[in-house]
Structure 1
C-alpha cells in the first residue's frame, strides 16, 4: 500500500491554509534538534522553503532523489515537493517558509526569471569568491527581524525582502555549475512525469479535465498516473486535481470581491450550487462560511459563529 506523505506548514505543525500570505523564520536547529536531526518525508502544498546551511551538512531527499548538501549552500524546496532531511548535529543556518503563490506573483511582475528559482528543487553551493553570497545572510537577518515585530505591513516587507533574497540566489545559480537540481536532472522518470502533470494541471484545471485526459497527454493510463502520484506525492491523481482547484477557489474567495456565482463560473463549474457542494465536501464549510472566517482571521477578529 502506498504511504501517505503528510502535509505541514512547518514540520510537525498543522498545515496553514493555502490562501495565507504568511512567512515564517527559524534557525534549522530549532526544528531539527527535537527530532534528533531527522526530518521525515513530508510536503507543504502552498509553501516554498529556503534554507541556508552555514555549518554542517545534510542529506536532502526530494521527490525520491537524494542529494548531499555541504555548507555553505542554499536549498530550495518548492511547494508540493515531497522532501525530508537528515542533518548533521553541527548544522546551522536560517530557514524561511513562505507562500509560494505570492512570491510567484511578485516574480512575474518584477523578474520572471525568478520563477525557475522558486519552482525548482535545488541545492546550490555558495562559493566564497562569489560577490553575491555576502548579501544572503544580511537579508535573512532582516527577515528574522521582520518576522518578530508583528507590525503593519509585515507581509509586504517580508515578501519584498524575500524577492531581494531570491534575486541574489538567481545571480548565484546563474553561474556555471551552480547547483544540483533535484529534478528533473537528478530525479527519476516518475519525477519528470509529475512535473509534466503539474504543468498540464496549471493549464487545464478550470476545464475540469478528468484523470484520463491528463494520463493520455502524458502517454500513461489513468491507473499508472495515480500510482505515480501516490508514490511521489503521497496522494492520488484525482486528489492532486481537486487540491489545485480548491487552492484557487480559496485564494479567490479571500482576495477577490467576486460573488460566489462569478467565482464558480471562472473556475469552470456548471453553477454555483455545484461549486458550493464541491467546496464543502473538501473543506467542511460553504464558500460563504469560508470567506467570512478567512477574512475575520486576516483582520484579527474572532471568526463568526
Structure 2
C-alpha cells in the first residue's frame, strides 16, 4: 500500500508539472506513460516508445526531462525496477522466472539491472523483506509465509 501511495505521489507531481507546461507535451507524456504501463515487461527501449507516439527519441527525452527531471530511459528503468521489486516481495517466483517474465536476455543481466537500481541483488532485496528501496519507495513488511 505504501508503495502505491509513493507511486501515486510521483504521478501527481508529474501531473502538476505537466499542467504548467500543458499542450502537446502533456499529451505525449500521458501517452508515453500509458504505453509504458502496457509494455514495461517486454520493452525497455526509448525508441520503441517514441515510435509508438510517432515522435523522435530525442523529443521524448526532452519531454521527460522537462516534466520529471529524468530521461525517458531513466523513467523506463525506474518503472521496471519498481515493478520487479514489488514482484520480489509479493510473489515467490524464482529469479529465473522473473527474468523471463520481464524479458531479460539472461538471469545474470536481470540481476545486474536490479543491482544497479537498488544497490543489492534481487535475492538480497527479497531477504530484506521491506524497508525502503534505493529509489525511495517504501515497501511494507510482508509476513514470512508470503515469501515461502
Quick check: TM above 0.5?
yes
Deviation, structure 1 residue 208: 2.2
Aligned 8 A contact 1:279 1:287 in 2: yes
Q: Distance in 2 between matches of 1:214 and 1:221?
A: 9
Q: CA contact under 8 A between 2:65 and 2:72: conserved in structure 1?
A: yes
Contact 2:44 2:77 in 1 (8 A): no
Q: Return the match for 1:250 from 73, 85, 105.
A: 85
Match of 1:226 in 2: 61
- Asked if residue 293 in structure 1 is aligned to residue 136 in structure 2, the reply is no
Unmatched tracts of structure 1, length 5 or more: 1-20, 24-43, 49-78, 84-120, 123-181, 301-305
Judge conservation of contact 1:211–1:222 (CA < 8 Å) in 2.
Answer: yes
Higher strand share: 1
Number of residue equivalences: 133
Aligned twin of 1:259: 94
Aligned partner of 1:205 in structure 2 is 40
2:2 alignment partner in structure 1: 22
Whole-angstrom CA distance in 1 between matches of 2:111 and 2:98 = 10
The Cα RMSD (Å) is 2.8
4+ residue runs of structure 1 moved beyond 6 angstroms? none
Structure 2 CA distance for partners of 1:183 and 1:284, relative to 1, 3 Å? closer
Structure with bigger RCO (C-alpha 8 Å, 6+ apart): 2
Give CA deviations for 1:224-276 in whole Å, capped at 9, x if unaligned. Answer: 11011000111000001101111110000000011111111111112211100
Q: Is the 8 A contact 1:227 1:236 kept in 2?
A: yes
TM-score, normalised on structure 2? 0.78
Query: Which is helix-richer, 1 or 2?
Result: 2
Structural mapping, 1:1-305, within 5 Å: 21-22=1-2, 46-48=7-9, 79-82=10-13, 187-295=22-130, 298=141
Greater Rg over alpha carbons, structure: 1
Quote the Cα distance in structure 2 between the aligned partners of 1:252 and 1:189.
34
Q: Is the 8 A contact 1:82 1:232 kept in 2?
A: no
